[in-house]
Amino acid sequence: MKIDFTSIMVDDQDMAEKYYTEKLGFIIKFDVLVGEFRWITLVSPEAPEGVQLVLEPNNNPVGKAFQQGIYEQGIPATAFTVDDVQQEYDRLTALGVRFTTEPKTEEWGCMAVLDDTVGNLIQIQQVAV
């Protein structure tokens, strides 16, 4: 068994697609119209055949409540691993990305948390080897 897709709810699919591709650097794998919404999946350019991130439209009240709840509690919706948190923080900050937590070292590695502008906090992390 393996993971092919993982989802993140977004307030606006168009804004999310632009943010995740232009700011975070992901590439579009699929973008298919499905009724009034789109099936948008993204992959890392470092792993184009890897796990796909689905930008799920947030039109379900239960999902919206969950998304808002974890955001308000400061809990990241997901985490992305990077080679160097400080370097990625500097790159993203220069692109106008807003961080809610600056890079900090933990026992397990280093992390920072950004606001994706479409309803989520996202952790970037560098795990100590």
Structural domain span for residue 38: 5-127
Can you give the CATH number for the domain in which 84 is found? 3.10.180.10
Mean pLDDT for the chain overall: 96
Distance CA 123, CA 82 (A): 10
The H or E element that residue 87 is part of is helix 85-94
Looking at residue 34, its amino acid is V
For 33-57, what is the mean pLDDT? 96
For 61-75, what is the mean pLDDT? 95
Looking at residue 121, its amino acid is L
For 70-82, what is the mean pLDDT? 97
pLDDT in tens, 83-113: 999 999 999 999 999 999 999 999 999 999 9
Contact 4, 58 (CB under 8 A): no
pLDDT of residue 129: 76
Give the global pTM: 0.93
Indicate the number of domains in the chain. 1
As given in the structure block, the two tokens for residue 32 are 């298919």
